[in-house]
Amino acid sequence: MRPRSSSTARSKCASTASAWTPRSAASFRPSKRPPTRSLTSRCSPSAWPTARWAARSGWPCWARSCLAASTPASRSTLGVDYGASLACRGGGSVALVHLLIGLLADVVFDKTGTLTSGTPRVARVVCHTRALDEDALIRLVAAAEHGFQHPIARAVRRLAADRKLSVPAATTTASQIGLGVDVTVEGRHVLIGSRRFMESRHVGLAAAEADERAAHGAGGAATFVAVDGELAGLLVLQDELRPEAREAVSALKARRMRDIVLLTGDHPEPSRAIAELLGLRNHYAELSPDEKAKLIHRLKREGHVVAMVGDGVNDALALEEADVGIAVPGGAEVASAAADVVIMSGGLDRVVRALDLAAETIAAVRRTVNIAAQANLGVVGLASFGLAKPLASILLTHGITLGAAIITTRQPAQTRSPRRRRPALHKNVRRSSSN
């Protein structure tokens, strides 16, 4: 595996999601070198001198036979998902294999949109100014969030549509990924975001502390709204845990993963509640996209092989920094571009299936190497003693390679789709006729 350039990744991910295209994402992903390719590259230099020495020890016919038998026949590793709805980008499939080879493995999950449904609802709207009622506050927030695809923006737009509110257009828009947005709507300066974002803009939040504690106590997240530099209100959002999240985490624990970590940009209280429900020991909250990537980098420096599972723009840096980045369906395009493996459909159970497929792949690669190496050594031995002619050596070598490839790419028995059996109508007919 080649080391990645963190500076390039950070400069690319600093832009908004609208700046990302498949073409720019292709240049964003550095090339990976599969571990299996490194293995064959290490073996080839020693295999060739051995064959050349054996060829020099006999007659010219033996020499041609030895050279034919030792000529490397390349084969590409095919990633087959057998209905698991997985797409590997670049070296994604072999990266998963690398994950399982590691002695230590951490699986890091993002919370919002990954472990949760990703479709939060606005459970409560609290106004902290007499100049704006709930509908007026929702109009401003919906206008500010227009054009954004993160879960909070979609939840606010759904609420505005349900109340049949006319949403004005924002004249200027600026966003700070993972923290908030800064817009101008109808001549008003509107800020929407987390506590950290508001504090960075010197907005006082003392009046909303009680409402914030109540929201966190109910397992919700608080998003603050400021108008013209003053606190205008907050939105309480509720997001449900994915139904398959507990089963997926339990399955990963059963596969002896070293640790399963939860990270999020939300407040510590909601993340602690999710971590307790899933039985996770380590969870990190109020992380910016850059801090998520730094956490992944720290785990890697400690010698851990890390897989990151995410879905949003905020996760792109962490997906890129991880040894294996896995993007769940329904996420942002930038997350899919930064990931090694993209789950096209299904839920978190596909993450477990991806690891199982990687285990099957590495077992198949080892089986192929053993078969091909032992058989080819036998052919070289036959050629060295003149028992195999050049044509026979070529046929044997390529036949062995083809057979090993067939064995490797053969679908495992447990993943084959069962054949449909036709109903035994003739038996019933015979019985009825006999009666």
Active centre residues (catalytic): 110
- Strands across the sheet with 282-284, in order? 86-88, 341-343, 324-327, 305-310, 105-110, 259-263, 282-284
Q: What are phi and psi of 104, to 5 degrees?
A: -120, 140
Q: What are phi and psi of 3, to 5 degrees?
A: -65, 150
* CA 341 vs CA 65, 213, 309: distances in Å: 43, 38, 10
Q: Which two tokens stand for residue 276?
A: 């307790």
SS3 407: helix
d(CA 101, CA 376): 26
Angle at 86 between CA 85 and CA 88, to 5 degrees: 155
User: Residue 137: what residue type?
Assistant: L
d(CA 78, CA 93): 9
Q: What are phi and psi of 133, to 5 degrees?
A: -95, -175
Angle at 311 between CA 101 and CA 99, to 5 degrees: 0
